[in-house]
Amino acid sequence: MGSYNYYKMFGCFNRKFKISEAEAPPDVREAFRLYAEGGTHMRADQVLRFLVEHQGEDGCTAADVDVIMQNVFHHRHSSDKRLGLTLEDFFYFLFQDHLNGPLNNQVHHDMTAPLQHYFIYTGHNSYLTGNQLSSDCSEIPIIKALENGVRGIELDLWPNSTKDNVHVLHGRTLTTPVPLVKCLKSIKEHAFVKSPYPVIITLEDHLTPDLQAKVAEMVKQIFGEMLYCRESDCLDEFPSPEALKHKIILSTKPPKEYLGSNNNKDGETSSPKDKDSTDDEPEADDKSDSDDEESDQQKSGNLGASEYKRLIAIHAGNTKHVGLRRSLRTKIDRFKRLSVSEQGLEKAAELYTTDVVRFTQKNILRVYPKGTRVTSSNFRPINGWMHGAQMVAFNMQGYGKSLWMMHGVFRANGGCGYFKKPDLLMMRGPNDEVFDPKLPLPVRKTLKVLVYMGDGWRLDFSHTHFDSYSPPDFYTKVYIVGVPVDAAKRKTRIIEDDWAPCWDEEFTFPLRVPELALLRIEVREYDRSEKDDFGGQTCFPVSELRTGIRAIPLYDKKGNKYKSVRLLMRFLFE
Protein backbone atom coordinates (compact mmCIF):
# COMPACT_ATOMS: atom_id res chain seq x y z
CA MET A 1 0.00 0.00 0.00
CA GLY A 2 1.37 3.44 -0.91
CA SER A 3 2.37 5.73 1.94
CA TYR A 4 -0.30 8.34 0.96
CA ASN A 5 -3.15 5.83 0.95
CA TYR A 6 -1.89 4.26 4.16
CA TYR A 7 -1.75 7.68 5.83
CA LYS A 8 -5.22 8.63 4.53
CA MET A 9 -6.86 5.44 5.77
CA PHE A 10 -4.99 5.48 9.09
CA GLY A 11 -5.89 9.14 9.62
CA CYS A 12 -9.59 8.51 8.96
CA PHE A 13 -9.46 5.49 11.23
CA ASN A 14 -8.08 7.66 14.02
CA ARG A 15 -10.74 10.35 13.41
CA LYS A 16 -13.41 7.75 13.99
CA PHE A 17 -12.27 7.27 17.58
CA LYS A 18 -11.68 10.93 18.29
CA ILE A 19 -14.96 11.62 20.10
CA SER A 20 -15.55 14.83 22.00
CA GLU A 21 -18.38 15.55 24.42
CA ALA A 22 -21.41 17.35 22.99
CA GLU A 23 -21.63 21.02 23.93
CA ALA A 24 -24.68 23.09 24.78
CA PRO A 25 -26.19 24.92 21.75
CA PRO A 26 -26.33 28.74 21.83
CA ASP A 27 -30.05 28.77 22.75
CA VAL A 28 -29.35 26.61 25.81
CA ARG A 29 -26.52 28.91 26.86
CA GLU A 30 -28.76 31.94 26.43
CA ALA A 31 -31.58 30.38 28.46
CA PHE A 32 -29.13 29.56 31.24
CA ARG A 33 -27.73 33.09 31.23
CA LEU A 34 -31.21 34.60 31.32
CA TYR A 35 -32.72 32.46 34.07
CA ALA A 36 -29.53 32.23 36.17
CA GLU A 37 -29.60 36.04 35.99
CA GLY A 38 -26.00 36.19 34.82
CA GLY A 39 -24.70 33.95 37.58
CA THR A 40 -22.67 30.75 37.33
CA HIS A 41 -25.39 28.56 38.87
CA MET A 42 -29.16 28.24 38.51
CA ARG A 43 -31.00 28.02 41.84
CA ALA A 44 -34.13 25.90 42.34
CA ASP A 45 -36.46 28.92 42.14
CA GLN A 46 -34.80 29.95 38.89
CA VAL A 47 -35.20 26.44 37.45
CA LEU A 48 -38.90 26.59 38.36
CA ARG A 49 -39.28 29.93 36.59
CA PHE A 50 -37.55 28.48 33.50
CA LEU A 51 -39.92 25.50 33.44
CA VAL A 52 -43.03 27.64 33.80
CA GLU A 53 -42.10 30.56 31.53
CA HIS A 54 -39.87 28.97 28.87
CA GLN A 55 -41.12 25.38 28.81
CA GLY A 56 -44.79 26.18 29.36
CA GLU A 57 -45.17 23.80 32.33
CA ASP A 58 -47.77 25.81 34.23
CA GLY A 59 -48.44 23.07 36.75
CA CYS A 60 -44.80 22.56 37.70
CA THR A 61 -44.04 22.77 41.44
CA ALA A 62 -41.04 23.18 43.70
CA ALA A 63 -41.28 19.45 44.45
CA ASP A 64 -40.96 18.67 40.73
CA VAL A 65 -37.85 20.84 40.55
CA ASP A 66 -36.37 19.09 43.56
CA VAL A 67 -36.76 15.70 41.82
CA ILE A 68 -35.02 17.06 38.71
CA MET A 69 -32.12 18.59 40.62
CA GLN A 70 -31.58 15.52 42.80
CA ASN A 71 -31.46 13.36 39.68
CA VAL A 72 -28.91 15.66 38.04
CA PHE A 73 -26.73 15.81 41.16
CA HIS A 74 -26.88 12.02 41.51
CA HIS A 75 -25.50 11.52 37.98
CA ARG A 76 -23.06 14.46 37.98
CA HIS A 77 -21.06 13.98 41.14
CA SER A 78 -18.86 17.04 40.57
CA SER A 79 -21.79 19.44 41.06
CA ASP A 80 -22.12 21.52 44.22
CA LYS A 81 -25.70 21.00 45.44
CA ARG A 82 -25.61 24.11 47.59
CA LEU A 83 -25.08 26.45 44.64
CA GLY A 84 -27.48 24.95 42.10
CA LEU A 85 -27.10 23.80 38.48
CA THR A 86 -24.09 24.77 36.41
CA LEU A 87 -24.46 25.29 32.65
CA GLU A 88 -23.23 21.72 32.12
CA ASP A 89 -25.78 20.43 34.67
CA PHE A 90 -28.54 22.42 32.98
CA PHE A 91 -27.60 21.04 29.56
CA TYR A 92 -27.49 17.52 31.02
CA PHE A 93 -31.00 17.93 32.42
CA LEU A 94 -32.41 19.23 29.13
CA PHE A 95 -30.98 16.24 27.25
CA GLN A 96 -32.60 13.60 29.53
CA ASP A 97 -35.90 12.45 28.02
CA HIS A 98 -37.15 10.91 31.29
CA LEU A 99 -36.80 14.36 32.91
CA ASN A 100 -37.53 16.61 29.92
CA GLY A 101 -39.34 14.58 27.28
CA PRO A 102 -41.76 15.85 24.61
CA LEU A 103 -44.87 14.15 26.02
CA ASN A 104 -46.76 14.14 29.29
CA ASN A 105 -46.07 10.62 30.56
CA GLN A 106 -49.25 10.45 32.67
CA VAL A 107 -52.82 9.64 31.63
CA HIS A 108 -54.26 13.15 31.23
CA HIS A 109 -57.16 12.81 28.76
CA ASP A 110 -60.74 12.76 30.03
CA MET A 111 -61.44 9.01 30.30
CA THR A 112 -65.12 9.33 31.28
CA ALA A 113 -66.62 9.79 27.78
CA PRO A 114 -68.34 6.88 25.96
CA LEU A 115 -66.02 4.33 24.37
CA GLN A 116 -66.63 5.55 20.81
CA HIS A 117 -65.01 8.90 21.71
CA TYR A 118 -61.54 7.30 21.71
CA PHE A 119 -58.97 5.95 19.30
CA ILE A 120 -58.12 2.46 20.59
CA TYR A 121 -54.75 0.73 20.18
CA THR A 122 -55.84 -2.29 18.11
CA GLY A 123 -54.10 -5.35 16.71
CA HIS A 124 -54.95 -7.43 13.64
CA ASN A 125 -54.51 -11.24 13.68
CA SER A 126 -52.85 -10.71 17.04
CA TYR A 127 -51.68 -14.32 17.33
CA LEU A 128 -49.39 -14.35 14.24
CA THR A 129 -45.62 -14.37 14.74
CA GLY A 130 -44.80 -13.34 11.17
CA ASN A 131 -46.40 -13.31 7.72
CA GLN A 132 -50.09 -13.94 7.04
CA LEU A 133 -49.65 -17.23 5.14
CA SER A 134 -47.15 -19.55 6.81
CA SER A 135 -45.98 -18.16 10.14
CA ASP A 136 -46.66 -19.81 13.50
CA CYS A 137 -49.67 -18.90 15.61
CA SER A 138 -48.76 -18.31 19.24
CA GLU A 139 -49.80 -16.58 22.43
CA ILE A 140 -46.41 -14.80 22.54
CA PRO A 141 -47.36 -11.95 20.12
CA ILE A 142 -50.54 -11.42 22.15
CA ILE A 143 -48.54 -11.09 25.37
CA LYS A 144 -46.08 -8.69 23.74
CA ALA A 145 -48.89 -6.55 22.34
CA LEU A 146 -50.62 -6.29 25.72
CA GLU A 147 -47.36 -5.42 27.45
CA ASN A 148 -46.92 -2.61 24.91
CA GLY A 149 -50.35 -1.21 25.71
CA VAL A 150 -52.45 -2.69 22.88
CA ARG A 151 -56.12 -2.78 23.94
CA GLY A 152 -57.71 -4.52 20.95
CA ILE A 153 -56.82 -8.19 20.38
CA GLU A 154 -58.15 -10.18 17.40
CA LEU A 155 -58.56 -13.96 17.51
CA ASP A 156 -59.69 -16.13 14.57
CA LEU A 157 -61.63 -19.12 15.93
CA TRP A 158 -61.73 -22.42 14.01
CA PRO A 159 -62.64 -26.00 14.89
CA ASN A 160 -59.67 -28.28 15.47
CA SER A 161 -59.13 -31.29 13.20
CA THR A 162 -61.49 -33.51 15.24
CA LYS A 163 -64.16 -30.78 15.50
CA ASP A 164 -64.32 -31.10 19.28
CA ASN A 165 -62.25 -28.09 20.37
CA VAL A 166 -61.26 -24.59 19.26
CA HIS A 167 -58.02 -23.44 17.66
CA VAL A 168 -56.79 -19.95 16.83
CA LEU A 169 -55.25 -19.62 13.38
CA HIS A 170 -55.46 -17.68 10.12
CA GLY A 171 -57.89 -19.88 8.21
CA ARG A 172 -57.22 -21.35 4.76
CA THR A 173 -53.49 -20.69 5.10
CA LEU A 174 -50.47 -22.72 6.23
CA THR A 175 -50.27 -21.02 9.63
CA THR A 176 -49.90 -23.48 12.51
CA PRO A 177 -52.65 -23.27 15.17
CA VAL A 178 -52.54 -22.42 18.85
CA PRO A 179 -55.24 -23.60 21.30
CA LEU A 180 -57.79 -20.90 22.18
CA VAL A 181 -57.49 -21.68 25.88
CA LYS A 182 -53.79 -20.78 25.82
CA CYS A 183 -54.57 -17.41 24.19
CA LEU A 184 -57.34 -16.60 26.67
CA LYS A 185 -55.18 -17.46 29.69
CA SER A 186 -52.38 -15.28 28.33
CA ILE A 187 -54.81 -12.39 27.89
CA LYS A 188 -56.03 -12.75 31.46
CA GLU A 189 -52.49 -12.77 32.87
CA HIS A 190 -51.17 -9.84 30.84
CA ALA A 191 -54.21 -7.69 30.00
CA PHE A 192 -53.56 -5.00 32.59
CA VAL A 193 -49.79 -5.07 33.02
CA LYS A 194 -49.35 -1.88 30.99
CA SER A 195 -52.76 -0.23 31.28
CA PRO A 196 -55.85 -0.62 33.51
CA TYR A 197 -58.23 0.30 30.70
CA PRO A 198 -60.45 -2.32 29.00
CA VAL A 199 -59.20 -4.93 26.57
CA ILE A 200 -61.53 -5.63 23.63
CA ILE A 201 -61.26 -9.11 22.10
CA THR A 202 -62.65 -9.14 18.55
CA LEU A 203 -63.51 -12.63 17.38
CA GLU A 204 -63.57 -13.86 13.80
CA ASP A 205 -65.92 -16.76 14.42
CA HIS A 206 -65.92 -19.88 12.20
CA LEU A 207 -67.49 -22.21 14.76
CA THR A 208 -70.52 -24.47 15.02
CA PRO A 209 -73.05 -23.66 17.77
CA ASP A 210 -71.69 -26.54 19.87
CA LEU A 211 -68.22 -25.02 19.78
CA GLN A 212 -69.59 -21.54 20.41
CA ALA A 213 -71.15 -22.95 23.59
CA LYS A 214 -67.76 -24.44 24.49
CA VAL A 215 -66.13 -21.02 23.98
CA ALA A 216 -68.74 -19.43 26.26
CA GLU A 217 -67.89 -21.80 29.10
CA MET A 218 -64.17 -21.36 28.50
CA VAL A 219 -64.45 -17.57 28.58
CA LYS A 220 -66.55 -17.52 31.77
CA GLN A 221 -64.23 -19.94 33.55
CA ILE A 222 -61.02 -18.09 32.61
CA PHE A 223 -62.10 -14.45 32.93
CA GLY A 224 -64.75 -14.71 35.65
CA GLU A 225 -65.57 -11.27 37.07
CA MET A 226 -63.19 -9.61 34.61
CA LEU A 227 -65.63 -10.27 31.77
CA TYR A 228 -67.95 -7.36 30.99
CA CYS A 229 -71.55 -8.29 30.17
CA ARG A 230 -74.20 -5.81 29.09
CA GLU A 231 -77.07 -5.23 31.48
CA SER A 232 -79.62 -5.11 28.66
CA ASP A 233 -79.79 -6.24 25.04
CA CYS A 234 -80.34 -2.66 23.88
CA LEU A 235 -77.22 -0.53 24.37
CA ASP A 236 -77.97 3.17 23.88
CA GLU A 237 -74.49 4.36 24.82
CA PHE A 238 -71.16 2.66 25.32
CA PRO A 239 -69.69 2.86 28.84
CA SER A 240 -66.50 4.87 29.30
CA PRO A 241 -62.94 3.50 29.52
CA GLU A 242 -62.93 4.70 33.13
CA ALA A 243 -66.07 2.71 33.94
CA LEU A 244 -64.62 -0.35 32.19
CA LYS A 245 -61.25 -0.43 33.96
CA HIS A 246 -59.87 -3.97 34.35
CA LYS A 247 -62.62 -5.42 32.18
CA ILE A 248 -62.42 -7.81 29.23
CA ILE A 249 -64.95 -7.12 26.45
CA LEU A 250 -65.96 -9.60 23.73
CA SER A 251 -66.99 -8.30 20.32
CA THR A 252 -68.24 -10.30 17.35
CA LYS A 253 -71.44 -10.81 15.38
CA PRO A 254 -74.04 -12.48 17.63
CA PRO A 255 -75.06 -15.85 16.19
CA LYS A 256 -78.69 -16.19 15.08
CA GLU A 257 -78.54 -19.51 13.33
CA TYR A 258 -75.96 -22.00 12.18
CA LEU A 259 -74.42 -20.84 8.91
CA GLY A 260 -71.79 -23.49 8.25
CA SER A 261 -68.05 -23.19 8.63
CA ASN A 262 -67.33 -20.81 5.74
CA ASN A 263 -67.63 -17.58 7.72
CA ASN A 264 -66.20 -14.11 7.16
CA LYS A 265 -64.93 -11.33 9.40
CA ASP A 266 -66.99 -11.00 12.57
CA GLY A 267 -68.92 -14.17 11.83
CA GLU A 268 -70.52 -13.26 8.50
CA THR A 269 -70.91 -15.95 5.84
CA SER A 270 -68.42 -15.37 3.06
CA SER A 271 -69.15 -15.14 -0.63
CA PRO A 272 -67.12 -16.26 -3.64
CA LYS A 273 -65.83 -12.69 -3.81
CA ASP A 274 -62.81 -11.35 -1.94
CA LYS A 275 -63.07 -11.83 1.83
CA ASP A 276 -62.41 -8.12 2.31
CA SER A 277 -65.14 -7.00 -0.10
CA THR A 278 -67.25 -4.00 0.90
CA ASP A 279 -69.14 -3.47 -2.34
CA ASP A 280 -72.39 -1.52 -2.09
CA GLU A 281 -74.38 -4.24 -3.85
CA PRO A 282 -75.67 -7.16 -1.73
CA GLU A 283 -73.87 -10.46 -2.27
CA ALA A 284 -75.21 -14.01 -2.33
CA ASP A 285 -74.30 -16.36 0.53
CA ASP A 286 -71.86 -19.14 -0.26
CA LYS A 287 -73.22 -22.35 1.25
CA SER A 288 -70.60 -24.78 2.52
CA ASP A 289 -70.40 -28.24 0.95
CA SER A 290 -70.67 -29.72 4.46
CA ASP A 291 -74.02 -28.12 5.30
CA ASP A 292 -76.10 -31.29 4.86
CA GLU A 293 -73.98 -33.53 7.05
CA GLU A 294 -73.86 -30.83 9.74
CA SER A 295 -77.62 -30.21 9.83
CA ASP A 296 -77.99 -32.19 13.06
CA GLN A 297 -75.48 -29.88 14.73
CA GLN A 298 -77.57 -26.93 13.56
CA LYS A 299 -80.65 -28.27 15.36
CA SER A 300 -78.92 -29.25 18.60
CA GLY A 301 -76.34 -26.50 18.81
CA ASN A 302 -78.46 -23.33 18.56
CA LEU A 303 -79.67 -23.67 22.16
CA GLY A 304 -76.14 -24.22 23.47
CA ALA A 305 -74.84 -21.06 21.77
CA SER A 306 -77.33 -18.75 23.45
CA GLU A 307 -74.93 -18.21 26.37
CA TYR A 308 -72.19 -17.36 23.87
CA LYS A 309 -74.48 -14.69 22.42
CA ARG A 310 -75.15 -13.26 25.88
CA LEU A 311 -71.43 -12.75 26.53
CA ILE A 312 -70.92 -10.62 23.40
CA ALA A 313 -70.91 -7.09 24.82
CA ILE A 314 -70.22 -5.17 21.59
CA HIS A 315 -72.31 -6.52 18.75
CA ALA A 316 -70.54 -6.40 15.40
CA GLY A 317 -71.46 -6.70 11.77
CA ASN A 318 -70.18 -6.06 8.29
CA THR A 319 -71.56 -4.52 5.13
CA LYS A 320 -71.99 -7.57 2.91
CA HIS A 321 -75.76 -7.82 2.78
CA VAL A 322 -76.79 -4.16 2.59
CA GLY A 323 -73.69 -2.37 1.32
CA LEU A 324 -71.34 0.00 3.07
CA ARG A 325 -73.19 3.28 2.59
CA ARG A 326 -76.50 1.90 3.82
CA SER A 327 -74.75 0.36 6.81
CA LEU A 328 -73.24 3.73 7.68
CA ARG A 329 -76.54 5.58 7.28
CA THR A 330 -79.02 3.13 8.80
CA LYS A 331 -79.88 3.49 12.47
CA ILE A 332 -78.24 0.46 14.03
CA ASP A 333 -80.13 -1.64 16.51
CA ARG A 334 -78.52 -5.02 15.77
CA PHE A 335 -74.90 -4.07 16.33
CA LYS A 336 -72.66 -1.24 17.42
CA ARG A 337 -69.39 -2.04 15.63
CA LEU A 338 -68.75 -2.23 11.91
CA SER A 339 -65.67 -3.79 10.28
CA VAL A 340 -64.33 -2.70 6.89
CA SER A 341 -61.08 -3.33 5.05
CA GLU A 342 -58.68 -0.54 4.24
CA GLN A 343 -60.05 -0.51 0.66
CA GLY A 344 -63.56 -0.19 2.03
CA LEU A 345 -62.49 2.82 4.06
CA GLU A 346 -60.76 4.39 1.06
CA LYS A 347 -63.91 3.96 -1.02
CA ALA A 348 -66.16 5.36 1.68
CA ALA A 349 -63.81 8.28 2.35
CA GLU A 350 -63.82 9.16 -1.34
CA LEU A 351 -67.55 8.80 -2.02
CA TYR A 352 -69.29 9.62 1.28
CA THR A 353 -66.84 11.03 3.79
CA THR A 354 -69.31 12.64 6.15
CA ASP A 355 -71.35 9.44 6.43
CA VAL A 356 -68.26 7.74 7.89
CA VAL A 357 -67.59 10.56 10.36
CA ARG A 358 -71.24 10.73 11.40
CA PHE A 359 -71.33 6.95 11.95
CA THR A 360 -68.27 7.01 14.21
CA GLN A 361 -69.84 9.61 16.48
CA LYS A 362 -72.25 6.98 17.83
CA ASN A 363 -70.72 3.65 16.81
CA ILE A 364 -67.34 1.95 16.57
CA LEU A 365 -65.63 1.49 13.19
CA ARG A 366 -62.85 -1.07 12.86
CA VAL A 367 -60.56 -0.94 9.81
CA TYR A 368 -58.30 -3.89 9.02
CA PRO A 369 -55.47 -4.41 6.46
CA LYS A 370 -56.36 -5.72 3.02
CA GLY A 371 -55.86 -9.42 2.37
CA THR A 372 -52.96 -8.89 -0.05
CA ARG A 373 -50.70 -7.67 2.77
CA VAL A 374 -49.29 -11.17 3.17
CA THR A 375 -45.99 -9.88 4.60
CA SER A 376 -47.94 -8.30 7.50
CA SER A 377 -47.39 -4.75 6.28
CA ASN A 378 -49.78 -1.96 7.27
CA PHE A 379 -51.63 1.02 5.78
CA ARG A 380 -51.40 4.64 6.93
CA PRO A 381 -53.42 4.88 10.16
CA ILE A 382 -54.15 8.57 9.68
CA ASN A 383 -56.60 7.58 6.93
CA GLY A 384 -58.77 5.90 9.53
CA TRP A 385 -58.27 8.42 12.33
CA MET A 386 -59.18 11.48 10.27
CA HIS A 387 -62.56 9.86 9.58
CA GLY A 388 -63.15 8.95 13.22
CA ALA A 389 -62.37 5.20 13.02
CA GLN A 390 -61.68 4.08 16.58
CA MET A 391 -60.11 0.68 15.92
CA VAL A 392 -57.45 0.93 13.21
CA ALA A 393 -56.27 -2.67 13.37
CA PHE A 394 -52.56 -3.22 12.70
CA ASN A 395 -50.19 -6.13 12.21
CA MET A 396 -47.97 -5.41 15.21
CA GLN A 397 -45.22 -7.63 13.79
CA GLY A 398 -45.25 -5.73 10.46
CA TYR A 399 -42.58 -3.09 10.91
CA GLY A 400 -42.48 0.11 8.86
CA LYS A 401 -43.41 3.80 8.79
CA SER A 402 -47.12 3.14 9.30
CA LEU A 403 -46.48 1.18 12.48
CA TRP A 404 -44.10 3.90 13.68
CA MET A 405 -47.04 6.33 13.49
CA MET A 406 -49.24 3.92 15.43
CA HIS A 407 -46.55 3.53 18.12
CA GLY A 408 -46.14 7.31 18.33
CA VAL A 409 -49.80 8.11 18.88
CA PHE A 410 -50.25 5.50 21.59
CA ARG A 411 -47.13 6.51 23.50
CA ALA A 412 -49.20 9.58 24.35
CA ASN A 413 -51.74 9.79 27.20
CA GLY A 414 -49.48 7.76 29.44
CA GLY A 415 -49.31 4.86 26.98
CA CYS A 416 -52.69 3.62 28.26
CA GLY A 417 -53.93 2.48 24.82
CA TYR A 418 -56.78 5.01 24.59
CA PHE A 419 -56.44 8.42 22.93
CA LYS A 420 -59.44 10.77 23.11
CA LYS A 421 -60.64 11.83 19.67
CA PRO A 422 -60.50 15.57 18.98
CA ASP A 423 -63.76 17.42 19.53
CA LEU A 424 -64.03 18.32 15.83
CA LEU A 425 -64.71 14.63 15.03
CA MET A 426 -67.54 14.48 17.56
CA MET A 427 -69.26 17.82 16.86
CA ARG A 428 -72.25 18.59 14.63
CA GLY A 429 -73.16 21.97 13.21
CA PRO A 430 -76.59 23.67 13.21
CA ASN A 431 -77.51 21.86 9.99
CA ASP A 432 -76.21 18.50 11.22
CA GLU A 433 -72.95 18.97 9.33
CA VAL A 434 -69.83 17.12 10.52
CA PHE A 435 -66.09 17.42 9.92
CA ASP A 436 -64.90 16.76 6.36
CA PRO A 437 -61.10 16.35 6.06
CA LYS A 438 -61.27 17.15 2.33
CA LEU A 439 -62.69 20.66 2.74
CA PRO A 440 -60.29 23.63 2.42
CA LEU A 441 -59.64 25.21 5.80
CA PRO A 442 -57.65 28.25 6.97
CA VAL A 443 -54.39 27.90 8.87
CA ARG A 444 -55.32 27.69 12.55
CA LYS A 445 -51.94 27.11 14.16
CA THR A 446 -48.27 27.22 13.19
CA LEU A 447 -45.73 24.79 14.60
CA LYS A 448 -42.08 25.81 14.66
CA VAL A 449 -39.61 22.96 15.05
CA LEU A 450 -35.94 23.69 15.75
CA VAL A 451 -33.54 20.75 15.43
CA TYR A 452 -30.52 21.60 17.58
CA MET A 453 -28.38 18.47 17.72
CA GLY A 454 -28.18 14.74 18.30
CA ASP A 455 -26.03 12.42 20.38
CA GLY A 456 -25.77 8.86 21.67
CA TRP A 457 -24.98 6.89 18.51
CA ARG A 458 -21.39 6.47 19.68
CA LEU A 459 -22.75 4.57 22.71
CA ASP A 460 -25.48 2.47 21.05
CA PHE A 461 -23.70 1.55 17.78
CA SER A 462 -20.30 0.09 16.97
CA HIS A 463 -17.76 2.58 15.67
CA THR A 464 -17.85 0.94 12.24
CA HIS A 465 -21.64 0.60 11.96
CA PHE A 466 -22.16 3.59 9.64
CA ASP A 467 -18.74 3.95 8.04
CA SER A 468 -15.64 1.78 8.26
CA TYR A 469 -13.09 4.59 8.25
CA SER A 470 -14.72 7.83 9.41
CA PRO A 471 -17.40 9.18 11.74
CA PRO A 472 -20.98 9.23 10.40
CA ASP A 473 -22.64 11.92 8.28
CA PHE A 474 -26.05 12.48 9.88
CA TYR A 475 -29.08 14.47 8.76
CA THR A 476 -32.62 14.69 10.14
CA LYS A 477 -35.90 14.49 8.24
CA VAL A 478 -39.02 16.10 9.73
CA TYR A 479 -42.50 15.26 8.46
CA ILE A 480 -46.04 16.41 9.18
CA VAL A 481 -48.61 13.67 8.57
CA GLY A 482 -52.29 14.61 8.77
CA VAL A 483 -55.11 15.84 6.57
CA PRO A 484 -53.83 16.17 2.97
CA VAL A 485 -53.41 19.97 3.07
CA ASP A 486 -51.18 19.75 6.17
CA ALA A 487 -48.75 17.15 4.80
CA ALA A 488 -45.16 18.45 4.64
CA LYS A 489 -41.55 17.32 4.88
CA ARG A 490 -38.27 19.10 5.58
CA LYS A 491 -34.65 18.02 5.90
CA THR A 492 -31.60 19.40 7.69
CA ARG A 493 -28.23 19.72 6.03
CA ILE A 494 -25.76 16.85 6.33
CA ILE A 495 -23.19 17.20 9.10
CA GLU A 496 -20.11 15.26 8.04
CA ASP A 497 -17.81 13.20 10.25
CA ASP A 498 -19.48 13.85 13.60
CA TRP A 499 -20.94 11.46 16.19
CA ALA A 500 -22.73 14.42 17.87
CA PRO A 501 -24.02 16.51 14.93
CA CYS A 502 -25.20 20.09 15.50
CA TRP A 503 -27.68 21.29 12.87
CA ASP A 504 -29.38 24.25 14.60
CA GLU A 505 -32.06 24.51 11.88
CA GLU A 506 -35.67 25.65 12.25
CA PHE A 507 -38.69 24.58 10.19
CA THR A 508 -42.15 26.15 10.13
CA PHE A 509 -45.31 24.12 9.54
CA PRO A 510 -48.67 25.89 9.01
CA LEU A 511 -51.47 23.60 10.20
CA ARG A 512 -55.15 23.63 9.22
CA VAL A 513 -56.15 20.69 11.43
CA PRO A 514 -53.48 20.50 14.17
CA GLU A 515 -55.69 18.10 16.19
CA LEU A 516 -55.09 15.37 13.59
CA ALA A 517 -51.45 16.16 12.73
CA LEU A 518 -48.54 13.87 13.55
CA LEU A 519 -44.90 14.97 13.73
CA ARG A 520 -42.67 12.22 12.38
CA ILE A 521 -38.89 12.42 12.77
CA GLU A 522 -36.24 10.24 11.18
CA VAL A 523 -32.43 10.42 11.30
CA ARG A 524 -30.40 9.08 8.39
CA GLU A 525 -26.69 8.68 7.73
CA TYR A 526 -25.68 9.83 4.28
CA ASP A 527 -24.01 7.23 2.07
CA ARG A 528 -22.57 8.33 -1.27
CA SER A 529 -22.64 4.92 -2.93
CA GLU A 530 -25.50 3.02 -1.28
CA LYS A 531 -28.84 3.61 0.40
CA ASP A 532 -28.57 5.98 3.37
CA ASP A 533 -28.31 4.17 6.70
CA PHE A 534 -31.06 4.30 9.31
CA GLY A 535 -30.18 6.21 12.48
CA GLY A 536 -33.45 6.30 14.43
CA GLN A 537 -37.06 7.44 14.29
CA THR A 538 -39.97 8.66 16.39
CA CYS A 539 -43.46 10.11 16.01
CA PHE A 540 -45.79 12.28 18.14
CA PRO A 541 -49.31 13.69 17.93
CA VAL A 542 -48.78 17.43 17.45
CA SER A 543 -51.56 18.15 19.95
CA GLU A 544 -49.57 16.34 22.65
CA LEU A 545 -46.24 18.12 22.19
CA ARG A 546 -44.83 19.98 25.18
CA THR A 547 -43.35 23.31 24.12
CA GLY A 548 -39.82 24.50 24.78
CA ILE A 549 -36.46 22.75 24.52
CA ARG A 550 -36.98 18.97 24.74
CA ALA A 551 -35.00 15.73 24.66
CA ILE A 552 -36.38 13.45 21.93
CA PRO A 553 -35.66 9.72 22.36
CA LEU A 554 -35.27 7.75 19.13
CA TYR A 555 -36.38 4.20 18.34
CA ASP A 556 -35.14 1.46 16.05
CA LYS A 557 -37.06 0.08 13.08
CA LYS A 558 -38.99 -2.33 15.30
CA GLY A 559 -40.05 0.41 17.68
CA ASN A 560 -37.58 -0.43 20.46
CA LYS A 561 -36.17 2.60 22.23
CA TYR A 562 -32.43 3.19 21.90
CA LYS A 563 -30.68 3.42 25.24
CA SER A 564 -28.70 6.58 24.49
CA VAL A 565 -29.66 8.06 21.08
CA ARG A 566 -31.53 11.35 21.42
CA LEU A 567 -32.14 14.62 19.65
CA LEU A 568 -32.37 18.02 21.29
CA MET A 569 -35.20 20.03 19.74
CA ARG A 570 -37.46 22.99 20.45
CA PHE A 571 -41.20 23.22 19.78
CA LEU A 572 -43.13 26.47 19.59
CA PHE A 573 -46.75 27.15 18.61
CA GLU A 574 -47.96 30.43 17.14
The C-alpha atoms of residue 328 and residue 339 are separated, in whole angstroms, by 11
Residues acting as catalytic residues:
124, 170
The Cα–Cα gap between 202 and 428 comes to 30
Task: Report pLDDT digits (tens) over 201-210.
Answer: 999 999 999 9
DSSP-derived 3-state class of residue 468: coil
Same domain, 489 and 546: yes
Average pLDDT, the chain: 88
**Both 178 and 282 in a single domain?**
yes
Residue 12 lies in a domain: no
Answer yes or no: do 453 and 504 share one domain. yes
Give the total number of structural domains in the chain: 3
Question: Does residue 6 belong to any structural domain of this protein?
Answer: no
342 is a domain residue: yes
Higher pLDDT, residue 186 or 327: 186
What tens digit of pLDDT does each residue of 58-74 get? 999 999 999 999 999 99
**Mean pLDDT, range 313-328, rounded to an integer:** 83
- Which CATH number is 203's domain given? 3.20.20.190
Claim to verify: residue 71 and residue 180 sit in the same structural domain? no
Boundary of a domain, candidates 425, 451, 466: 425
Q: Are residues 375 and 502 in the same domain?
A: no
Residue 271's pLDDT is what?
33
- Report whether pLDDT(265) > 90: no
Instruction: Based on the fold, state whether residues 211 and 308 are members of the same structural domain.
Output: yes
pLDDT at 546 over 60: yes
Digit-coded pLDDT (tens) for 99-142: 999 999 999 999 999 999 999 999 999 999 999 999 999 999 99
What integer pLDDT is reported at residue 398 of this predicted model? 84
- Span 532-552, mean pLDDT? 98
The answer on 399 and 290 residing in a single domain is: yes
pLDDT of residue 302: 58
Q: Which of 516, 359, 542, 485 is nearest to 422 (CA)?
A: 516
In this structure, the number of other CB atoms found within 10 A of the CB of residue 506 comes to 14
Span 451-469, average pLDDT:
95
Q: pTM of the entire structure?
A: 0.90
Whether residues 79 and 181 fall in one domain: no
The answer on 516 and 485 residing in a single domain is yes
Query: Is residue 166 domain-shared with residue 291, that is, in the same domain?
Result: yes
CA distance 532 to 472: 11
Looking at the domain assignment, is residue 453 inside a domain? yes
Q: What is the 3-state secondary structure (H, E, C) of 139-159?
A: CHHHHHHHHCCCCEEEEEEEE
Q: Which domain holds residue 278?
A: 115-425
pLDDT of residue 3: 43
User: Between 246 and 255, where is the model more confident?
Assistant: 246
Has residue 259 got a pLDDT over 60?
no
How far is Cα 453 from Cα 266, in angstroms, rounded to an integer? 49
Mean pLDDT of 381-390: 97
The domain boundary residue, chosen from 368, 397, 425: 425
Confidence bin at 79 (pLDDT 50/70/90): low
pLDDT > 70 fraction of the chain, expressed in percent and rounded:
86
At 461 the pLDDT is 96
Distance of CA 471 to the CA centre of its chain: 34
Are residue 74 and residue 138 in the same domain, yes or no?
Answer: no
Residue finishing a domain among 425, 458, 478 = 425
